[in-house]
Chain A
Amino acid sequence: MKNLVEVKNLKKNYGTKKAVEEVSFSIKENEILGLLGPNGCGKTTTIGMMLGLLKPTNGEIFIEGKKIEENRIEILQKINFISPYIELPKKLTVKQNLIVYGKLYNIKNLNNRIEYLIEKLRLFDLLNSVTGELSSGQKNRVSLAKALINDPIVLLLDEPTASLDPEIGDYVRTFLENYKKEKKISILLASHNMNEVTRLCKSTLMMKEGVIVDQGSPEELIKKHGRQNLEEVFLKLSRSEDEFN
């Protein structure tokens, strides 16, 4: 499997504050990489740089071998992003939002693509509903549809199931698993839900204060740190040794 994403020595400073320092990783085709760490550890900053929203202070990001800083528009055509902290225009209907984003991504045969996503994400009954009036679970499905409108090869997820009830959370995780298998896409999953990461990710990165402090599969990390589960590993790595013991 080839690497679809390669991040090399990524660094981001805000003035004297170091947000991300010397972060390097790669994501293979058909792989979900978990990105873990406490709030403020640099996960969102890393994703922001991968989306071209932030300019790295140093380092390089390659998607399909192309450097994002030099090919921003071309790369944005192939990637997409979901976060519960950003929303689609609330006053537009679900269908209008999908049409708008379909046009922004310049999708050929947009009607076919929308029909595919409607079926895949069971959106038929919501099509003419106003987006702002949907429940959290429904909004999440619509955001997924928007994120898949361009048939991305790389999907960046920032806490995609935060604020969802367990049933809908499970639906989203199952959907992502199946979609990844079907399309062989690369996914970066930033999450605070350790069960979710254990279930979806073959490999994970643990970040703290802007640097990667450990990496490996959830099983490897649990074994290496002598803990019962990934949550305990997370706590051990996030807290200082004194706090933990």
Chain B
Amino acid sequence: MNLIRIYGLFLRHFYLITRSFPRILDLIYWPSIQITLWGFISNFFASHSTYYNNAVGVILTCAILYDFLFRTSIGFNMLFLEEIWSRNFTNLFIAPIKISEIIISLVFTALIRALIGLVPAILLTSPLFGISILDLGIYLFFLFLSLYFFGITLGILVSAGLLRFGPSFENIAWSTMFLLAPFGCIYYPIEILPETFQKIAYSLPLVYIFEEARSILIDKTVNMENIITAFSLNGVYLIIAISLFYYSFNQARKRGTLINIGE
């Protein structure tokens, strides 16, 4: 493991972001729009729903958490796609950089990208809706960390698909999060889902994270079991994703995808 090489790949994306104001604006724009939109929706629900009564911030907090997950996952994929779009893929893979170094570098860069979008969104919630996500206390850190792991896991899985199948896998990169959202129980309790869907939902870390967020905000109770289960599932999925990434790299070397991927 070489920190300079990891830093080098980080620099490649850092330069790209800092050189382009539209890119920075794009990172900030969507989370802020999401938060504003869901802020108004949550205001409406607060006055029309007994479930969310006196808990105006629940939907908004969950929207912020979900957006962080979305940004982390898409951010990771974007970094990978950026290399394909710029026809730099071959240059990257003929550099003496290990797969583990590529993953670590992209994991940190994706975090920076997600935070650039997240911080303004959090700052917006207080003056606009009088809500602070910091109400989740110290547990907020664990929830964010867990979402970050899952976002990265999804990013690695999609990137493994890009390695294996080439740019045609790009559409999957955009749709993964939308596909998983209903099972994540982001804005509603798991009991809303049909029984079969509940089984799928329980196999994902998301449901434990969002159930926990609601539990803290609505019932003012902390269930460490939810947090631990989420982390355990994240660990399993992350190991699977990394293994699949290595497998895809080897398959790409056999099938020649690394040479033709930008074409």
Contacts and interface: CB of A to CB of B under 8 A. Distances in A.
Interface of A: 14, 44-45, 48, 51-55, 73-74, 76-77, 79-81, 83, 85-93, 96, 99-106, 130, 146
A51 B94 contact: yes
A51 B94 CA distance: 6
Contacts of A102: 8
A86 B5 CA distance: 21
Contacts of B82: 89
Contacts of B87: 85-87
28 contacts: A48-B258, A48-B259, A53-B93, A53-B94, A53-B253, A53-B258, A54-B253, A55-B250, A76-B94, A76-B95, A79-B94, A80-B94, A85-B87, A86-B90, A87-B88, A90-B86, A92-B16, A93-B15, A93-B19, A96-B11, A96-B15, A100-B15, A103-B4, A103-B5, A103-B7, A106-B2, A106-B8, A106-B96
Interface of B: 2, 4-5, 7-9, 11-12, 15-16, 19-20, 82, 86-98, 250, 253-256, 258-259, 262-263
B259 A44 contact: yes
Contacts of A101: 8, 91, 95
Contacts of B94: 51-53, 76, 79-81
The prevalent SS among residues of B at the interface is: helix
A77 B11 contact: no
Nearest to B7: A103
Contact of B4 (A74, A87, A106, A130): A106
The prevalent SS among residues of A at the interface is: mixed
A55 B253 contact: yes
A55 B254 contact: yes
A14 B256 contact: yes
Given A86-B262, A92-B15, A104 B256 contact: no
Contact of B95 (A14, A85, A104): A104
Q: Which 4 A-B pairs have the closest CB atoms?
A: A103-B8, A76-B96, A104-B95, A55-B253
Nearest to B262: A86
Q: Which of A55, A76, A81 has the most CB of B within 10 A?
A: A55
Nearest to A48: B259
Nearest to A78: B96
Given A73-B98, A76-B96, A106-B5, 8 more contacts: A53-B258, A73-B97, A89-B16, A91-B15, A91-B86, A99-B8, A104-B92, A104-B95
A101 B47 CA distance: 56
B4 A92 contact: no
Nearest to A14: B256
A79 B96 CA distance: 9
Contacts of B11: 96, 99-100, 103
Given A55-B254, A100-B12, A103-B11, A146 B19 contact: no
Contacts of B92: 104
A152 to B, nearest CB: 11
